[in-house]
Amino acid sequence: MKPPLPSAHRRLFLLLGSVYALWWIALAIAPKHPVDWWLENILVAAGLLLLIVTARRFVFSRLSYILIFLFLCLHTLGAHHTYSEVPYREWFAAVGFDPGPLAGRNHFDRLVHFLYGLLLTQPFREVFYFAVVPQSPFWSYLLILSFNMATSLLYELLEWAVAEIWGGELGMAFLGAQGDPWDAHKDMFLAAIGCLLAFAIMILAQAMSGRDRVRDWGEGRRAGG
């Protein structure tokens, strides 16, 4: 039987859960494209359900839960406005920042694809060390990068399927290509770059501390620690 969760984890769950619930409720009010909002939130529901169902066997580190929380908050923001119409230029202008360099394409979707790689690589790697006993740390990087690229591909295929099935304004809102024929390729590339940057940060932290904390956490959970 696994030991109970540390009290620090329980406090963190309460804090992040409460903040996200308020954030989600606020952004569930009058979304720009209601059907697109529902489609985007199916992914949120599936992700949260997976976290809840698997929590009895595996618990992430506190940092990983914070990273997951940040990604979900950004996704929820994108779902409210639709990714291609998040008005970040107007927000920058409202605080006195010149949005001129950001003119043209709305890049919020590109940012979130990049952050998918940057923010979720550590949680994925913790699960890897919980589920697998690799002969070399090399596999914990190669397989996580492959998983990142594969899931990015699946999401792009999902966008394409929605655009084909629904078409019209809804299909274009969910697809978010904004007329760029290479949109899917660029999104997947940015997710991979984010993943590689996360690896670089982990390797630097390991060099500075002398230990791989991500590996230690995953292996510790497998051992019941």
pLDDT given for residue 102 in this prediction: 65
Q: Which amino acid is at 71?
A: F
Query: For residue 30, is it within any domain?
Result: yes
User: Which stretch of 12-26, 111-125, 172-186 has the lowest confidence by average pLDDT?
Assistant: 172-186
Secondary structure letter of residue 104 according to DSSP: S
1 within some domain: no
pTM: 0.89
Q: What is the DSSP string of 39-96?
A: HHHHHHHHHHHHHHHHTTT----HHHHHHHHHHHHHHHHHHHH-GGG--HHHHHHHTT
Residue 11: domain span: 7-222
Instruction: Using pLDDT thresholds of 50, 70 and 90, give the confidence band for residue 1.
Output: very low
Tell me, yes or no, whether 62 lies in a domain: yes
Residue 2 lies in a domain: no
Q: Are 170 and 33 in contact (CB under 8 A)?
A: yes
CA dihedral over 100, 113, 73, 154, signed as positive or negative:
positive
**pLDDT tens-digit series, residues 49-74:** 998 888 888 899 999 999 999 999 99
Angle at 177 between CA 174 and CA 183, to 5 degrees: 125
pLDDT single digits (tens) 114-144: 999 999 999 999 999 998 887 788 999 999 9
The set of residues, in sequence order, having a beta carbon less than 8 Å from that of 154 and lying 6+ positions away, is none
Structural domains of the chain, count: 1
